Structure 1
């Protein structure tokens, strides 16, 4: 079902745009996004490091969107399509699941500092992305597994 990959592509593209918005928004946006006080302070002092990290993440999420669109057959098949789609799905599912279970078990100070609602909602988004990629892989397995000629 192409819709699963399209949904995943839209979410990861929005994640890419969000990371660009955080860079533009500055220190307050770094704090609100959960990037941490250290990156916010670095951005406030004029360091380019937070922007560099944000741009790298934006590029990664943009790439993930392209892989989802490739898996849906909307754009041409990209190299290592099946491998990358499986890795993206697994990474997102692990991050989403981690966000629901592990920090709560260990009373993580990171979770406490961000607020439980932020942590749970961001984990839900990660899980939704991962599950949409996984559903796309399952329904388009023959397409993504076919050897490109």
Structure 2
């Protein structure tokens, strides 16, 4: 479990879990947290109006990120094998890297999100995608 691939997956898992916790913090802390995280004024106002949709979307993202963290830990050998771990890690890596690279295309669809949100979240997604991809390839001796 101490090889470079497993270490990359463990780091990716930690970042995914931290991102999940940040999403949960938004739900708990409310509109100010959504604003700080750059989610946009429209979302923050929906939270202030006690709309359920922002919390449900945010919770869904958090659950997904915790799941991705579990798959990275499984791939690293920290926890038991999860179903389709290799395929899941390839897909997770691709989604993170795709999200990082596609932000210029996504940005117009979410006009309320700040430029800081797009640059920071895209950089984080790129780093997490690189860790997951490197770890996956190294664990299965592709590198």
- Report the TM-score, using the length of structure 1 for normalisation: 0.82
Unaligned runs of 5+ in 1: 143-149
1:125 aligns to 2:124 (yes or no): yes
Q: CA RMSD in A?
A: 2.1
Q: Are the aligned partners of 2:24 and 2:59 in contact in 1 as well (CA < 8 Å)?
A: yes
- Match in the other structure for 2:48: 44
Structure 1 segments of 4+ aligned residues over 4 angstroms from their partners? 106-113
Residue 108 (structure 1) shift: 4.4
C-alpha distance in 2 between matches for 1:77 and 1:6? 15
1:111–1:119 Cα contact (<8 Å) kept: no
Provide the residue aligned with 2:79 in structure 1.
Answer: 75
Partner of 1:95: 99
CA 1:113–1:130: 2 relative to 1, 3 Å: closer
- Number of aligned residue pairs: give it: 137
Larger RCO: 1 or 2 (CA < 8 Å, sep 6+): 2
Kindly name which structure, 1 or 2, has the bigger radius of gyration based on alpha carbons.
Answer: 1
TM-superposed deviation, 1:80: 1.2
Question: What are the residue-to-residue correspondences of 1:25-36 with 2, within 5 Å?
Answer: 25-36=29-40
User: Which stretch has the larger CA shift, 29-38 or 72-81?
Assistant: 29-38
